[in-house]
Amino acid sequence: MHRPMHQNIGFQLSRVPRLWRAVIDRRLAPLGLTQTRWITLYHLWRLGDGQPQCDLARAIGVEAPSLVRTLDQLAEQGLIERRGCDQDRRTKRIFLTPEATPLLEQIDAVVSQARGEMLAGLDDAEVEQLASLLSRIEENGLAIQAREDVE
């Protein structure tokens, strides 16, 4: 039985990020970075120093308690430090250490190269359109979640 292409889009939407991360993971493995560590460092670098732990968890898409172990490991490696928040002593803000910079530059180079390879054959307008479409799908999903959380 032939099914319309759009019926498989959910599977494609789940496969592509896994494939994307697998390519990057393989290339970052020689640096001794697990997926959770490089993703955490990369998000912190992109978001900027001083992110509250809960905001960083939200940006990555994990629960705050799940992030704690990764942050502990990164702190042990000397790549981040936690500092208390002046306004709220319960909140911890996360800062990159100077030791993290060369590693982040390597991560960024790997991610940029992989992005270029994964998007090969797409021109700038197509990439922009893809990003716009994915944003709309994400917004729809967030709206569904919010609606169903209320029910």
In a domain, 105, yes or no: no
- What are the tens digits of pLDDT across the range 129-144? 999 999 999 999 989 9
- What are the tens digits of pLDDT across the range 61-81? 888 888 999 999 999 999 999
Proportion of the chain above pLDDT 70, given as a percent: 93
Cite the beta strand spans of the chain per DSSP E: 51-52, 80-84, 92-96
In a domain, 92, yes or no: yes
Mean pLDDT along residues 33-59: 90
The Cα 82–Cα 80 span in angstroms is 7
The Cα 72–Cα 80 span in angstroms is 9
The Cα 56–Cα 47 span in angstroms is 8
Under the banding of pLDDT at 50, 70 and 90, the label for residue 103 is: very high
In a domain, 136, yes or no: no
pTM: 0.77
In a domain, 140, yes or no: no
In a domain, 134, yes or no: no
